[in-house]
Structure 1
Amino acid sequence: MHTYLFLLAAWLLALPTRAQPTVAPAFTVVPLGVKGGLAEGNLSAYLVAAAGTTAFIALDAGSLRPGAEKAVANHVFTASVDEVLRQNIKGYCLSHPHLDHVAGLLLNAPDDTPKPIYGLPTCLHTLQQDYLNWRAWPNFGNGGAPPALGKYQLRALVPGQAMPLDNTALSVQAFVLSHGSNMQSTAFLVRSHDSYLLYLGDTGADDLEKTHYLHDLWLAVQPLVQHGQLKAIFMEASYPNAQPEQQLFGHLTPALLLRELGTLGQLAGPSTLRGLPVVITHLKPTVGNEAIIKTQLAAGNTLGVKLVFPEQGRALAF
């Protein structure tokens, strides 16, 4: 009997297994900048396109040309760097106007092509009034100090309302975030057909910021998580857990990030986040910080999310 069972088990193991269905990616993402300050040529900027297309929207624009140069060198693009910046990028979604999120846009504006800039009204107002004002920089916008050159059309987003992103296969919804005292930031929920990607600009935790913005965001995306439509979350972890609360300046640590994701897990169901890609953005590249942050995220990851650490100029698919 034992011999028979052994042979039966061996025969069953030898049978060809049914191939698991492969889900085609919905999004192509090319990080042009991934750090949270200090690294001047590698600051927050992520190109997103519907899979199979080359029409990208830039989620933030801290560094553009250095990232495009690396992406071309890595054969992510067959076009030249100038073609990527001028033609493949169809517009910009800016989470907030801090320089490490807009510097690449400003510096490359003289050679850019006309395209829209999307953001919440407070962000666009600062961009127009404080940068594109003929004092800090020429006015490439469509309002503000004359003459307005009109290269960029500033498109105000209404929180929670979807807006098509011109010349792409994408649309976006904006959600308000809090980034320290007196700074409003933004989360962008990008849609391609029935799939979604969620990108959070810089943000602090709800309890420290004394807001409910992240909780409201989790409520909004909860159904997408439950139905497997949310393909990835991009979220910051700027400092190690030992960073004092009064020195977070509206940012997250690994513990705070995982706690906020835990709230999403409670709303959507305890196992719904398992395997969901969470792309860690905005790591401060102070010596030793990155290794500590990665270790703390891995150690605290009881949710079972798939932690992804992006590299400048290397494409991701979700």
Structure 2
Amino acid sequence: MFQRWVFVLFISVFVFSHNATAGNNFEIVTLGDRGGIQDGNLTAFLLKASKDKNYVTLDAGTLVNGLIVAEQKGTFEHVKVPDSSPYNKVGYLLKERVKGYFISHAHLDHVAGMIIASPDDSGKSIYGLASVNQALSSSYFNWVSWPNFGDRGDGFQLKKYKYNDMPPKKWLDVKGTSLRVKAFPLSHSGIESTAFLFSNEDAAMVYLGDTGPDKVEKSDSLNQVWTSLVPYIQAGNLKGIMIEVSFTNAVKDTMLFGHLTPDWLITELKQLERKAGGKGSLEDLKIVISHVKYSLKKGEDPKVVIKRQLKEKNDLGVEFIFPVQGEGLIL
């Protein structure tokens, strides 16, 4: 049994590291796969282009703990710490290989890891819409909630982090990587959240922060994101969509507070399907489900229920993927 486990682990690491360098793809490492209250496992992902060695984060609810879990699972087996480095692998990854934070919105479960890690972090850019960066500056890095590690805001500015205000719907080069990115505003129960569209030469993927359905939010935000994805889908270049499903279908629209359920995600994806060319146009597209909320109630884990509810309604032919903390995947 032990030998078989070692063999499976070896094959998993080999496939992950091999695929990460094969083709024009995106490598994802899940630092946190939950939304809400499960501290230590809150929404955060590492992203890099297949040809790059450096990462950025997609939100940062959990950071150091996510890196520790990933290292323990062997996900970073292919990463070699230089002999000259004073850091262990977690320190090396955080300080040398993570080149920036993409923050979709300033809710605590999306930024806590970055804030807590900031005293020992290296200098980086925080990429976000102007409203998001303003919230980070005024609410956290202000010498009341936490020292001001930013380059703006109240009190003495330690200037470890540089706020990079992203103009909506305009391409931006990501420093230290080969990625380009475009930000789209999303509606999240009265605040501005963000979808980040990344391109890696001809390949693309999109990460959406917390968002409710357009009909409930009385918004056109998701519709605009879907429209932007159509050319990539039609060219066969969209590698995947990372999107939240926070609640099961049992939660009423009035209690969603800017989140999605399985039924609402299917509804939104059908809008995308119609735009992209009709039935079958999303066949085999990878949809990575994030931000499932942990529940303190007895009964089935909401993640299990959401998996089942998405499977029952999936007449789109898409592949739903549920990431696990510490594990890697290729888009």
Aligned counterpart, 1:11: none
Aligned counterpart, 1:312: 325
Measured in 2, the distance between the counterparts of 1:206 and 1:187 equals 14
Residue 245 of structure 2 corresponds to residue 237 of structure 1: yes
Aligned counterpart, 1:283: 292
**Match 1:202 to one of 203, 210, 218:** 210
Structure 2 runs not aligned, ≥5 long: 1-21, 82-88
Whether the 8 Å contact between 1:25 and 1:317 is mirrored in structure 2 is: no
Residue 230 of structure 2 corresponds to residue 222 of structure 1: yes
Measured in 2, the distance between the counterparts of 1:38 and 1:144 equals 28
Measured in 1, the distance between the counterparts of 2:69 and 2:23 equals 26
Aligned Cα root-mean-square deviation (Å): 1.0
Measured in 2, the distance between the counterparts of 1:106 and 1:310 equals 23
Aligned counterpart, 1:191: 199
Measured in 2, the distance between the counterparts of 1:314 and 1:25 equals 20
Which residue identity is paired with 2:318?
V
Q: Any idea what SS the aligned residue of 1:242 has?
A: coil
Measured in 2, the distance between the counterparts of 1:273 and 1:87 equals 37
Measured in 2, the distance between the counterparts of 1:54 and 1:285 equals 33
Aligned counterpart, 1:41: 40
Which residue identity is paired with 1:267?
K
1:75 CA displacement? 2.1
Aligned counterpart, 1:300: 313
Q: What percent of counterpart residues are identical?
A: 42
Measured in 2, the distance between the counterparts of 1:142 and 1:280 equals 34
Aligned counterpart, 2:273: 265
Measured in 1, the distance between the counterparts of 2:135 and 2:195 equals 18
Q: Any idea what SS the aligned residue of 1:290 has?
A: helix
Q: Which runs of 4+ in 1 moved over 3 A?
A: none
1:25 CA displacement? 4.9
How high is the TM-score relative to the length of structure 1? Answer: 0.91
1:242 CA displacement? 1.2
Measured in 2, the distance between the counterparts of 1:170 and 1:76 equals 22
Which residue identity is paired with 2:46?
L
Whether the 8 Å contact between 2:187 and 2:211 is mirrored in structure 1 is: yes
Measured in 1, the distance between the counterparts of 2:194 and 2:113 equals 18
Measured in 2, the distance between the counterparts of 1:305 and 1:167 equals 33
User: For this pair of structures, how many residues does the alignment match?
Assistant: 295
Aligned counterpart, 1:10: none
Q: Any idea what SS the aligned residue of 1:60 has?
A: strand
Structure 1 runs not aligned, ≥5 long: 1-22
1:66 CA displacement? 1.2
Measured in 2, the distance between the counterparts of 1:207 and 1:244 equals 13
Aligned counterpart, 1:176: 185
Whether the 8 Å contact between 2:27 and 2:328 is mirrored in structure 1 is: yes
Aligned counterpart, 2:263: 255
Larger Rg: 1
1:134 CA displacement? 0.5
Greater Cα offset, 286-295 or 54-63: 286-295
Whether the 8 Å contact between 2:24 and 2:203 is mirrored in structure 1 is: no
1:72 CA displacement? 1.1
